[in-house]
Structure 1
């Protein structure tokens, strides 16, 4: 007797969300503009100026040409700003709509 495995709609949605998070990339302009439009840019700049912020994160903020949703820089900044995963997703969704 063979077993049949089914994934629930909820599991499928979670897998799709995780795949979207892994694949989503925005330009530095889109990221900066989305943060500015949503009122987070000053908070991010405060985090970047904080001596406790890693040099790698500072360099990435200042030099990266794109930001990946699941990158260490994004995750570090999101944690510093106490943003939920859903809030970060919303910022990326919004950033994807911005054109230069």
Structure 2
């Protein structure tokens, strides 16, 4: 999966299933790995793992997303709301569209 397509897929995941509690959580709110079958919600980085579906040969577009925030991605979801996270994704996707 290419970088732009990965970001679009990840944005769709967090648009309806976002969490600020960890990379991914299950229905009990327990933190799980992003690719765990029990995961029901993801943070900004966990959604990328989910979108890639563990395709470790694919480009991992963290740097494109990181450029859109003034915070390290490890703390983005703790300090920003869902709307701001989605806006960061939109900016990252748009920046790839103009290149």
Alignment TM-score > 0.5, same fold: no
TM-score normalised according to structure 2 size: 0.33
TM-score normalised according to structure 1 size: 0.33
Comparing both structures, which one devotes a greater share of its residues to helix? 1
Higher relative contact order (CA 8 A, sep 6+): 1
